[in-house]
Amino acid sequence: MITQRFKELVTTISYKKGIPNMRITYTPHPITDRPAELCRKYVAGNDPLSGQPMLEQIYAGLTKPLSEEDRKAGFLKRDPRPRLLPADTPDRLMEYFHEQGFTDGNPIILPTERKVAEMLKATSRKPDEWVGQMRPSPPHEAWYYTVEMVAVNAVMAGAKPEYFPTILAIASKGVTSLFSSTSSFARMVVVNGPVVGEIGMNTGIGAMGPFARANSSIGRCWTLISKNLGGSGKPGETFLGSQGNPLSYNNLCFPETEDGLPPGWTPLHVQKGFKKSDSVVSIFSGWSMNDIAWYSPLPNHEVIRGWLEHFFSFGTSQATLVLDPIVAADVAANGFPSKEAYAKWLAEKTGTPGWLYWSQNQNRLKEAKAGVEPYASWLKQGEGAVVPVSRFNRGGRITRNTAFMASKDNNETQTSIEIVVTGGGTNTFWSGGDFGYVGSASVDQWR
């Protein structure tokens, strides 16, 4: 049984799982948070799609004899996959790519044999070498792809051949940028190491904006890869994000401004176990990002702590701070010799707004009301008062979204707060959001 809104999803998933005639009964949508009286009415009523009485349909699903087809084993039909598409005019091919859902809705560069051959020259890897597999979310099937297939999508995204090893490194992680959940995930990729300068990524003014071909097209390519190589991004079937996420066009793709790091602060890739001389992509998953400069008597590290304490979003137990180099310098000058030291301080000094804590910990609320300490004392301050429990200490509540996606790399940090430095130093801006670290991959291995 499933709610009627997910008919497309459940019928296509049943097919892909090998049970095309799965007997399904639908309920009205949504079911979450509906009172018992309404649920009783639904159960006594009809399946909203078939019009048949719900209970009788369920019973029939369990007892109606199987057809010959239902009993059959074997293999189900899949769409053929020719390596090259039938010849056509550029205009018609562009329309065809849009109609087939191969694009992000914007024009692409058509992947001709010449352009793909040029792209392939930028790696020592063979065109038919496997790069990885990707799926829209854990219940979905994984699709597989080769170096050549990634090159096709790199051409489409408008990437220069020199960006190709970086794109292959992202593809090798097998993390879709269009994760299928009713929440609308966003992804972020941070590039570190010599490759940043080699391919002309923008580390300065507007580093996170649409001002450099490398930042833009590498990020865009991840979305095309996710759609075309990872089987993601078909609304209703392989993408369910109710509102979608505008960050998904280019996926927050930017480099860390390594020469803007305060003394003692290590680049992200070094934090993750790579050498400074390595070129690395690091992938993050989240939903949203705020961009803030707050002029107050408080120093920046305190303003950020205050924001973090009251920050609320779907991924409320993890955070990534992207600091402009001048903010990073301010923070370091206030007694934080490393990113890790600042992240630890933030986790220790950050409580949880009462309404959020109590809504997520209903049993604690019951105990508080029954006089159990320390909950009772916390509640005495008022249901909205900040509770002295950090959301960002590892070993506490595990972040929700890690279970939703590709497995995390080994990342034994003490907190769920990541810090990256980028920007041009024109003002004391910093960005904060609910992004969590997923993993890193070497670019050098794909050169």
Partner 1 sequence: MKSSVVCIVAVLIAAAFAASYGSAADEAKIVVFNPRGIQPEIRKIPMGTRQPTLDGKTVYIVDTKYPNTKPFVLELFAALKAKYPKTDWVLRDKYAGYMDDDPKLWAEIKQKAAGAIVLLGH
Please list every residue from 116 through 175 that binds partner 1, using CB under 8 A.
116, 134, 137-139, 141-145, 148-149, 152-153, 156
Distance, CA of 278 to CA of 443 (rounded, Å)? 8
Q: Which residues pair with 292 in a beta bridge?
A: 430
Please report how close the Cβ of residue 10 comes to partner 1 at its closest, in angstroms.
8
Q: Which long-range contacts (CB under 8 A, 24 or more apart) does 298-304 make?
A: 299/330, 299/334, 300/327, 300/330, 300/331, 300/334, 300/428, 300/430, 301/330, 301/331, 301/334, 301/336, 301/342, 301/345, 304/331, 304/346, 304/430, 304/432
Question: How many residues bind to partner 1 according to rule CB under 8 A?
Answer: 84
95 binds partner 1 (CB under 8 A): no
Look up residue 149 and give its two tokens: 């297939």
254 binds partner 1 (CB under 8 A): no
Out of 7, 8, 11, 42, name the contact with partner 1 by CB under 8 A.
42
Please report how close the Cβ of residue 309 comes to partner 1 at its closest, in angstroms.
25
Please report how close the Cβ of residue 188 comes to partner 1 at its closest, in angstroms.
23
User: Which stretch, 36-44, 279-287, 381-389, 431-439, contacts partner 1 (CB under 8 A)?
Assistant: 36-44
User: Which stretch, 9-17, 199-207, 285-293, 326-334, contacts partner 1 (CB under 8 A)?
Assistant: 9-17
Please report how close the Cβ of residue 248 comes to partner 1 at its closest, in angstroms.
18
Report which residue type is found at 183: S
Look up residue 248 and give its two tokens: 């998904």
111 binds partner 1 (CB under 8 A): yes
User: What are the angstrom distances between the C-alpha of 222 and each of 174, 217, 225, 306?
Assistant: 10, 9, 5, 34
Please report how close the Cβ of residue 171 comes to partner 1 at its closest, in angstroms.
10
Task: Name the nearest CA neighbour of 101 among 238, 281, 268, 248.
Answer: 238
Distance, CA of 376 to CA of 356 (rounded, Å)? 16
Look up residue 299 and give its two tokens: 């120093």
User: Which stretch, 58-66, 338-346, 364-372, 430-438, contacts partner 1 (CB under 8 A)?
Assistant: 58-66
Contacts of partner 1 in 184-213 (CB under 8 A): none
Look up residue 363 and give its two tokens: 């049993």
Length of the chain: 447
Asked whether the beta carbons of 21 and 69 are under 8 A apart, the reply is: yes
Nearer to partner 1, 163 or 345 (CB): 163
Out of 11, 58, 302, 361, name the contact with partner 1 by CB under 8 A.
58
Q: What angle do CA 315, 319, 321 make, to 5 degrees?
A: 145
Contacts of partner 1 in 375-404 (CB under 8 A): 403-404
Nearer to partner 1, 61 or 335 (CB): 61
User: Which stretch, 29-37, 191-199, 215-223, 349-357, contacts partner 1 (CB under 8 A)?
Assistant: 29-37
Using DSSP's 3-state secondary structure scheme, residue 117 falls into helix
15 binds partner 1 (CB under 8 A): yes
21 binds partner 1 (CB under 8 A): yes
Task: Name the nearest CA neighbour of 161 among 116, 107, 97, 216.
Answer: 116
Nearer to partner 1, 58 or 386 (CB): 58
User: What are the angstrom distances between the C-alpha of 353 and each of 18, 159, 272, 296, 415?
Assistant: 47, 44, 31, 22, 18
Out of 12, 46, 93, 299, name the contact with partner 1 by CB under 8 A.
93
User: Which stretch, 21-29, 258-266, 345-353, 383-391, contacts partner 1 (CB under 8 A)?
Assistant: 21-29
Asked whether the beta carbons of 389 and 357 are under 8 A apart, the reply is: yes
Q: What angle do CA 114, 83, 148 make, to 5 degrees?
A: 55
Distance, CA of 351 to CA of 342 (rounded, Å)? 16
Nearer to partner 1, 137 or 245 (CB): 137
Contacts of partner 1 in 262-321 (CB under 8 A): none
Nearer to partner 1, 16 or 349 (CB): 16
Nearer to partner 1, 182 or 426 (CB): 182
363 binds partner 1 (CB under 8 A): no
370 binds partner 1 (CB under 8 A): no
Nearer to partner 1, 36 or 297 (CB): 36
Q: Which residues, 6 or more positions from 345, have their beta carbon under 8 angstroms from its beta carbon?
A: 301, 305, 336
Out of 7, 8, 20, 444, name the contact with partner 1 by CB under 8 A.
20
User: Which stretch, 84-92, 185-193, 254-262, 280-288, contacts partner 1 (CB under 8 A)?
Assistant: 84-92
Nearer to partner 1, 22 or 385 (CB): 22
Nearer to partner 1, 139 or 236 (CB): 139
Using DSSP's 3-state secondary structure scheme, residue 194 falls into coil
| Cis, peptide link before residue 353, omega less than 30° from 0 | no
Please report how close the Cβ of residue 403 comes to partner 1 at its closest, in angstroms.
6
